[in-house]
Structure 1
Amino acid sequence: MKKIKILAIVGSLRKESYNRQLALAAKEILGEQVEFTVLDYQDVPLMNEDIEFPAPDAVKRVREEVKSADGIWFFTPEYNHFFSGVLKNLIDWLSRPVSDEEPQVLAGKPAAISGISLGISGTSIAQDHLVTLISFLDMKVMNVPRVTIPSAWQYVDEQGKLTLNEIYPHLEKQAEAFVNFIEGK
């Protein structure tokens, strides 16, 4: 039986970002059950129609990774009550048609959303904005359950690593639900 491929898109480029750590915790939870990859997109340029066709190599690469995934799991920070500019830029590239014959690559893809932030909203406002955008792009959004973790400093040890003790069961529940959502259960 073919393993489900989940592509994690983290809305922060910082190497040790809390959302990257959250994505890696989800990967750990899912273990060998699925193929789980965190998308590297730091080389994707700013969206610019002057360079859209042919698309830059970095854009071609991330499009292929999205196309081959069975589901996309977004891990978003919240900046000023919104998701990050780097995530918006990536989605702008992914929302454009690949060519005259090939549509954009997000349509129809199952999507889940999680996030952790220093603020008190726990990324819920950013997640709602993200749902608006990806719904418009015809992604199949799993709205429940979502993980929103406020006040990240409460879950970080002295080395800056997440310790998700009481949050872990919620992430486990979301991971299981997302696999079932992708499988159509």
Structure 2
Amino acid sequence: MTHHTIAVVVGSLRKESINKKLAQALEKLFPADFSLTHVRIDDLPLYNQDDDGQLCAQVMRLKGEISAAQGVLFVTPEYNRSVPGVLKNAIDHASRPYGQSAWNGKPAGVIGTSGGPMGSALAQQHLRNILAYLNMPTLGQPEAFIQTKEGLYDEAGNIGEASLKFLQGWVDAYVAWVKKHN
């Protein structure tokens, strides 16, 4: 059986991030032949093209973790109807210098949660546009715009019963997507 490593990129730095909580709960739904590695993005400097010739250790680490993975799971909040700046900064770093993108060809899954009923839909759409440019085959269906509300999780932090069937279906579709593209 082939083992698949998935790099998880959470677009929120907040200590009590609802998107980090979603990523941790989703991790429990993946099959045994998948492992998820949570990629650190909070220590990256702001992207500056002048630095492309001499990447700092944090950027090298990021690019190495993405390159080593067989897929990337993006879990993003929505800030001002788009992706958070910290997520865009990480994407820019790992895509540069030109022609040396760590993202190239990595099958992507895009999901996110918010307190509102749109569940990060606009951020996800903007992220999909970016990923298309980066040549990342991105799971199109099912889309998952998750509203964080009572019942999404059980007392242990697992996906709650009301959302389990849908989110397990989403994870299963992403697993099949990764296998199709590896």
What is the RMSD computed on CA atoms of the aligned residues? Answer: 2.0
Deviates more, 1:31-40 or 1:76-85: 31-40
Structure 1 CA distance for aligned equivalents of residues 159 and 176 of structure 2: 26
Identity of aligned residues (%): 34
The 3-state SS of whatever aligns with 2:102 is coil
The two structures have a TM-score, normalised by structure 1, of 0.88
Other-structure match for 1:34: 34
Structure 1 residue 164 and structure 2 residue 160: aligned?
Answer: yes
Change (3 A) 1:164 1:147: farther
Q: Which amino acid aligns with 1:19?
A: N
Q: Which amino acid aligns with 1:87?
A: L
Gapped runs of 5+ residues in structure 2? none
Gapped runs of 5+ residues in structure 1? none
Can you list the C-alpha shifts for 1:9-65, whole angstroms capped at 9, x where unaligned?
101012331111111111111153311111112111110123232101000001000
Structure 1 CA distance for aligned equivalents of residues 33 and 23 of structure 2: 15
Q: Once the 2 structures are TM-superposed, how far is the Cα of residue 154 of structure 1 from its aligned partner? A: 3.4
Matching residue within 137, 141, 145 for 2:142: 145
Q: Once the 2 structures are TM-superposed, how far is the Cα of residue 108 of structure 1 from its aligned partner? A: 0.7
Structure 1 residue 173 and structure 2 residue 169: aligned?
Answer: yes
Structure 1 CA distance for aligned equivalents of residues 143 and 33 of structure 2: 20
Other-structure match for 2:121: 124
Q: Which amino acid aligns with 1:120?
A: P
Task: State whether residues 74 and 111 of structure 1, in contact with CA within 8 Å, keep that contact through their aligned partners in structure 2.
Answer: yes
Task: State whether residues 112 and 146 of structure 1, in contact with CA within 8 Å, keep that contact through their aligned partners in structure 2.
Answer: no
The two structures have a TM-score, normalised by structure 2, of 0.90
Task: State whether residues 53 and 97 of structure 2, in contact with CA within 8 Å, keep that contact through their aligned partners in structure 1.
Answer: no
Change (3 A) 1:17 1:155: farther
- The residue correspondences of 1:8-157 to structure 2 (distance < 5 A) are 8-30=8-30, 32-97=32-97, 103-150=100-147, 152-155=148-151
Change (3 A) 1:164 1:148: farther
Structure 1 CA distance for aligned equivalents of residues 8 and 138 of structure 2: 14
Other-structure match for 1:183: 179
Q: Matched residue pairs, number?
A: 179
Task: State whether residues 41 and 86 of structure 2, in contact with CA within 8 Å, keep that contact through their aligned partners in structure 1.
Answer: no
Structure 2 CA distance for aligned equivalents of residues 122 and 108 of structure 1: 27
Change (3 A) 1:163 1:34: closer
